[in-house]
Structure 1
Amino acid sequence: MESKTARLTVLIDPAKKKAFETLCRQQDLTPSQVVRQLIRDYLSQHGTQYPGAAHNPRVDS
């Protein structure tokens, strides 16, 4: 996991939230793990590069 984190607030309806949390629990994953993977996949699908991505060279800050 990344060494630094930032908070992302997402508003969804309660029924979807409950279903999502239930599915995550059934798969022994946290909702945060799933959302992070969805974001990585979305960035990859659109060819968006960012520091720390496995396919990118490390960018010095």
Structure 2
Amino acid sequence: KMIPVREVTGFVKKHRSIIDCVEPSFFELTAAMAFDFFHRAGVEIAVIETGLGGRLDSTNIISPV
């Protein structure tokens, strides 16, 4: 199921100053958006696929179970 468009635009509006300052990659931005959505939706367990993998991957902010 896709994240609703209103959630995407709301995330960008709320975090615009950070996005402009940090200039995240598309993957970094969409990962952050997904993690924020999961948190607000009360998701307890999510299967997260790494992007490039390795210790510098954007998904490493998530603690494994």
How high is the TM-score relative to the length of structure 2?
0.35
- Pick 1 or 2: higher relative contact order, CA cutoff 8 A, min separation 6: 2
Instruction: From the CA coordinates, give the structure whose radius of gyration is larger.
Output: 1
